[in-house]
Structure 1
């Protein structure tokens, strides 16, 4: 395959759709919105930073089996590495010029954490607990915080409500993360990576995910209640329902046979969850910003 084509595929730009919910959630909860900065930050995160992170991970791992968003990934080339550097540099530069310096600093921290997760020199992903905690924090609370900094142009204060929503976001990611590893146990072990999902086992992964989503809901309830918007929490539950139904069905299938813990079923879970959550937060944006 031509290196340009393989590089574009391994950036996995469509995969950013799965990582979009928390930015939309932050937008739905923003008390003030800087329109230009919001648009630019959205594009910077989803079209530059996330693809660069995907590409760097693929370059380091040299995956030969299914990865998130690609059932049969092409072989990475050195061009992919240089493209990821260019994307990261462009992202930070645009953040400084078009959003604000605080957002640019947040991007740098996110990029450093992403590199530390994948890099052969540090390789946080090979540690089941450390890797989990890094992803939980940076893709959860930190992403929401970073989006808020860009959308509002100000640093969020440390308040009870913010602590609740940051914890809710982190537990949402904590629930999703082990499920994304469930079909890769053997591939990861060959690369010396012991994931949290492998340590938990197939059944344990589903039980752990259910617990994380329960804690996520608890903190979202506390957050919306603290703001006097308890009804919004129940709107959130309506959109969670299809995710819960498929999760339960998939869990049942895996109990019957571990072969159902497959790439195909994992991607189906990701699509359902992303579609429901993105739709939910778009509705909350309409309610909070336009009604």
Structure 2
């Protein structure tokens, strides 16, 4: 959702019906189907995502993901062929990421790149294409790249408490490869690059006030992140499910509010 509102904040002339439809397709069909399929393939028994004690998936879950994907594809045609093509790309990459016989998530770099490109750049482009009323309007390149770095700074944190479970499943994530401390360092670097790109974008478009507004919303996230880093440096057991979910909730909420605020201010201006 943060990437959705991030992309929306750069749209100059918003197509309201297509924007609403894209939101429904992405958040009520595409993402749940992707997560459901991943859960079906993983069959996690320990904490995963926002669920501390996940139920074991059934074949009904698999069929449900297929139905949701089909519904997303059908609805996507109402937005346009490019949106449909991007949606299909996302679905295919998501399945390759989780499918047992291929399972891109087994490979730290390939899996990581797959996630940040699809959930970052591709998703940004999808939303921008759907929301922009001007058909020939080009997707802004710097924010598109920044979207991938934002995801790149967030995603490894979600893996930091799953090292044992992932190892038992034959998966080596980027977080496992770097270790818990290395994961925090990577995330800090990726966020720093993303913020630098955003500074360049807003500065070059004479909209530097938007950058400073973002920083106001990011203060709680940075504060919690640094506090968590200090705690993990003292005791790596602090990189657990509970603290990860707190970070997840705080970062998602603040980022959503930041980009929603920028979107509202853009229209008011």
Work out the CA distance in 1 between the residues paired with 2:29 and 2:101. 24
2:159 to 176, 181, 186: 181
Structure 1 counterpart of 2:49: 68
Q: Indicate if the aligned counterparts of 1:148 and 1:156 stay in contact, CA closer than 8 A.
A: no
Structure 2 counterpart of 1:120: 100
Structure 1 counterpart of 2:238: 260
Work out the CA distance in 2 between the residues paired with 1:27 and 1:212. 22
* Deviating 4+ runs (over 6 angstroms): none
1:148 to 116, 128, 137: 128
Give runs of aligned pairs for residues 90-105 of structure 1, distance below 5 A: 90-97=71-78, 99-105=79-85
Q: Indicate if the aligned counterparts of 1:30 and 1:152 stay in contact, CA closer than 8 A.
A: yes
1:58 to 25, 30, 39: 39
Structure 2 counterpart of 1:134: 114
Consecutive unaligned residues of structure 2, counting only runs of 5 or more, are none
Residue 242 in structure 1 maps to residue 220 in structure 2: yes
Counting matched residue pairs gives: 268
Q: Indicate if the aligned counterparts of 1:28 and 1:289 stay in contact, CA closer than 8 A.
A: no
1:31 to 12, 20, 39: 12
Q: Per the alignment, in what secondary structure is the counterpart of residue 9 of structure 2?
A: helix
2:91 to 108, 111, 133: 111
CA root-mean-square deviation: 1.1
Structure 1 length-normalised TM: 0.90
Structure 2 counterpart of 1:287: 265
Deviations 1:194-240 (A, max 9, x none): 11101111111111111111001010111111211111111111111
1:201 to 172, 175, 179: 179
Residue 233 in structure 1 maps to residue 211 in structure 2: yes
Work out the CA distance in 1 between the residues paired with 2:93 and 2:208. 34
Structure 2 length-normalised TM: 0.97
Structure 2 counterpart of 1:7: none
Consecutive unaligned residues of structure 1, counting only runs of 5 or more, are 1-19
Q: Indicate if the aligned counterparts of 1:145 and 1:156 stay in contact, CA closer than 8 A.
A: no
